[in-house]
Amino acid sequence: MPSRFDCLPEPVPDVVFKMDAAAKAAPEPKINLVIGAYRNELGQPQVLHCVREAEVRLAADETINKEYLPINGLKSFRDEAAKLMFGPACDQALLNRLATAQTISGTGACRVAAEFLSIACPHRMQTPVYVSDPTWANHVPIFQYAGFKNIQKYRYYNPKDGGVDIDGMIGDIEAAEDGSVFVLHLCAHNPTGADPTESEWERIADVVIRKHHLVIFDSAYQGYASGCLDKDAFAARLFLSKGIEFCVAQSFAKNMGLYSERVGCFTAVCDNHESAERVCGTLKNVIRPMYSNPPAHGARVAELIMRDLQLRAEWTMELKGMSDRIIKMRHILRNTLEELGTPGCWEHITK
């Protein structure tokens, strides 16, 4: 008997997770480089000690219950996430003009951003959305499922030197229709690893202002890229200092190792408190029919680590240790490739 679902098109498997399954099934010896998740010296997933400690404290706190969180999530987590992103400038005055929502990790933050912008950009069929060439595989379908039809690429990677094609990038931002949406990687660009310099971010910000573009920073690696939470947040703090309205999609999967907890935050930086309230209400309207409200445990862990001085200090030390080890391994990889006489230039690995 035919099924009513026979009309569905043949599904396309996710390439990354398909490759990861194949890698896991492959015989030893092997190194799985498919999923961007940290592994320790034994090749095993690592749970940070600060995370373990936070979970012990939360488990002992009998005041914590299993009630639903608000639609936009745990407020103390959202405030701490904003302080992490914007640093000393994040005082109460700034918090009053931020619209924030706890999300299902960074992917959820990007999806909430896209759905929100489908309302904020009433002509989404025509509004151009620009993603870098190349970019994270999920960016394009996220905006497609939100109804955007005009998705384009801006020049980004320069294969000749493994760096950013900054002139091409700025040229495309300049040439884009005024008021376009640009998805920018805050740091540790995925998949190239190439980031603009601070002076290049200045140039990018100036063009964004002139062209009235709306920027969404995808922040998946704050602190994980350089080992410094403040350094990796430079671009967002620069845009803030220039009075730009923009959005940020934050993930705590990489920098806290909370991959399966799905901890994220969406933030819209608004000109004033009234606009922030309007955006906040719209975000709730987006989230309610999507997943109603977010899970609590991971957000409570992240909030406690960011707020508690001891756990915060331990986290920053562990985070720097992970980042330093990755940088060290990149140097070893480059040196080995060069010692073996592997064809090609490998300088970009350690840039």
Question: Dmax over Cα atoms in the chain, in whole Å?
Answer: 65
8-state DSSP, 263? E
Question: Kindly report the CA angle at 260 between 255 and 265, in degrees rounded to 5?
Answer: 55
Rounded to an integer, what distance in angstroms lies between the CA atom of residue 232 and that of residue 317? 15
Rounded to an integer, what distance in angstroms lies between the CA atom of residue 190 and that of residue 178? 26
Active site residue 79: no
The residue annotated as part of the active site, out of 79, 172, 218, 232, is 218
DSSP secondary structure, 48-85, as one string: -HHHHHHHHHHHH-TT---PPPPTT--HHHHHHHHHHH
Active site residue 172: no
Q: Where are the beta strands (DSSP E) in the chain?
A: 98-104, 129-133, 151-155, 157-158, 163-164, 181-185, 214-219, 246-251, 263-269
How many C-beta neighbours within 10 Å does residue 108 have?
A: 24
Measured in degrees and rounded to the nearest 5, phi and psi for residue 263 equal -110, 120
The residue annotated as part of the active site, out of 195, 201, 232, 254, is 254
The residue annotated as part of the active site, out of 136, 195, 232, 315, is 136
Active site residue 218: yes
Whether a cis peptide bond, with omega within 30° of 0, leads into 289 is no
State which amino acid sits at residue 238: L
Residues acting as catalytic residues: 136, 218, 254
